[in-house]
Structure 1
C-alpha cells in the first residue's frame, strides 16, 4: 500500500536513549537492585504510560531542584496533577567523593553535554525510594500511569541535556565546581601528599604570589589617541583638550592615592 499523498513517516518519540536517562527510568520503574517487588511498575501501567508519552499527554512540565511537576491528560475530563520528589544529593559530599575517587575532571565533560560514568553514579538515584511520586488520580498503585509518563518526559529531557539530572537531584554544575574548588590548600610541602586528591585545577600546590606592577599614570604613559577621540565625541573642543586631560590626570592621581 502506497503512503498517503503529502504525508511523510511519523516520527516516534523516544526517551531513555542515554545511560543517565535509562538509569533514571529503571529506578522509577523499580528495576534496580534493592527495589522491593511492590515498587515495580507493572507492565500494564508501563505500556499505557509509554502511549501517554508518545501522544504528548504530559503538559506544563517543570523541573526544579529535587521537584518535578506536570499535568497529565487521563481518563477524566480534567487532567491529573503529578509531583515527582527526589531524595536530593549534597554538593559538598559529591565533591568529596569525586576527589577521593580521583574523578574531579569528570565534571568537565558535562559542559560538552556528555554523561560521565562516575558523576552519574554519585548523583543519580539508585533505588526506588529515591524518587517519590504523587498524583491526584484515584489509582493506588505505587507508580500510576501519569507519574510514569512524567518520568519518561524527564528522561527525555535528560537525553537532551545531562545537566537536567543534576537539577532533578537538587544540585547544579556551578555548585559542584565551587565545592570541588574548596579543597584545602596545603600549608607545608609535606601536606601535599595527605590531601584527598587534586583540586579542580589539577594541582594542590600553593599558587605563587601575584606580581607587583610598576606604578604608572595611563594619561601620561600611554597613547591617548582613543581618549582624545572619545572626548571629542562628547563635545570637548580641541582648544579645551589639554585642560581636560590635565583635569583627568589630577582626578586619576587622587583616586590612585586613595587606593
Structure 2
C-alpha cells in the first residue's frame, strides 16, 4: 500500500433502520438483558450468523459463538391471517398500503397489522446451554432478520406467515365478492351509483388486448426510475423481477 493511501474500512452493518424493522426487533429484545443484547450486536457486526433461512412463519440459522460448534436457532411466529388483515385495511380505507409496499415503502397501517406486538408473538429456541428466553444467539439471528426487513420490507410479511401476492389475491377476491352482492333497493338488479337519477346500467367495460407493459417500457428509463425511488444499484434487477411478479398476480386476478 503506497504511503498516504489509507485502507478503506468495511461499511458498518446496521439493523432497525426502518419502522417495521424496529417493531420486530423491539418485540424480540423485550425482556433481554443488556449483556446479551450487546453480545448479539457484536455477533451481527462480525457476521457470526450463517445459513439464515426465512420461510413463512419461521426463521432458522446457526450462530458461531464461544464454542467450537455453532448453535442452531429457530424462531416461530404467531402468524397473521390474510383475510383479517385485508378486512381491517378495508375498514380503515388503507388497502392502498399494499401498492405502497410494492413500491418498497413501509406503510404504517399495514405494519401495525402485520408486525408482532408482544413477546409471545415470536417464540425462540436455541441449542446453546443458556436457558434465557432470548439468548445472545437468538438475538443475533433476530438482528439479521431485521436487517433483511430494512433491505426488503416484504420480508416481514414472509416472517409473519404471508406474502404480498397472497394479500393482493385476498383483496381482489373481496372486491369481486362485494361486486357480486345484489342491492336490495333495486329489486334484485345490481345498479351502479346513480348520479343522474335515470337508473340505467352503465355500458360494459371495454376489453383490451393482453399486453405486458414491462416489455414496452424503456429499460434504461425504468432502471433510472427505480434508482430514483431509492432502490440500490445492486438490487435493480431483483426489483424488476418483483414488478413482473406483482403485475402477473394482478393480471391473473383481474
> TM-score scaled by structure 2?
0.70
Higher Cα radius of gyration:
1
Distance in 1, Cα, partners of 2:206 & 2:106: 40
Name the residue aligned to 2:20: 20
Displacement, 1:106?
Answer: 1.1
Name the residue aligned to 2:139: 148
* Structure 2 residue corresponding to 1:43, chosen from 20, 29, 34: 34
Q: The residue matched to 2:96 in structure 1 has which SS?
A: helix
Name the residue aligned to 1:220: none
Name the residue aligned to 2:80: 89
* Structure 1 residue corresponding to 2:183, chosen from 183, 188, 201: 188
Q: How does 1:115-194 map to 2 (within 5 A)?
A: 115-183=106-174, 184-185=178-179, 186-188=181-183, 190=185
How big is each residue's C-alpha offset from its partner over 1:189-214, in whole Å with a ceiling of 9 and x where there is no partner?
A: 859xxxxxxxxxxxxxx9954669xx
Aligned residues: 188
Whether 2:50 is the aligned partner of 1:59: answer yes
Name the residue aligned to 2:11: 11
Displacement, 1:4?
Answer: 8.1
Structure 2 CA distance for partners of 1:175 and 1:77, relative to 1, 3 Å: same
Long gaps (5+) in structure 1 = 31-39, 192-205, 213-259
Displacement, 1:188?
Answer: 2.0
Displacement, 1:9?
Answer: 2.8
Q: The residue matched to 1:25 in structure 2 has which SS?
A: helix
How big is each residue's C-alpha offset from its partner over 1:45-71, in whole Å with a ceiling of 9 and x where there is no partner?
A: 000000000000000000000010000
Q: The residue matched to 1:151 in structure 2 has which SS?
A: helix
Distance in 1, Cα, partners of 2:55 & 2:152: 14
> TM-score scaled by structure 1?
0.68
Name the residue aligned to 2:102: 111
Long gaps (5+) in structure 2 = 187-200, 208-254
How big is each residue's C-alpha offset from its partner over 1:135-156, in whole Å with a ceiling of 9 and x where there is no partner?
A: 0000000100000000000000
How big is each residue's C-alpha offset from its partner over 1:101-157, in whole Å with a ceiling of 9 and x where there is no partner?
A: 111111101111100000000011000100011000000001000000000000000
Distance in 1, Cα, partners of 2:62 & 2:154: 23
Name the residue aligned to 2:224: none
Q: CA RMSD in A?
A: 2.2
Structure 2 CA distance for partners of 1:155 and 1:137, relative to 1, 3 Å: same
Distance in 1, Cα, partners of 2:29 & 2:86: 29
Q: The residue matched to 1:60 in structure 2 has which SS?
A: strand
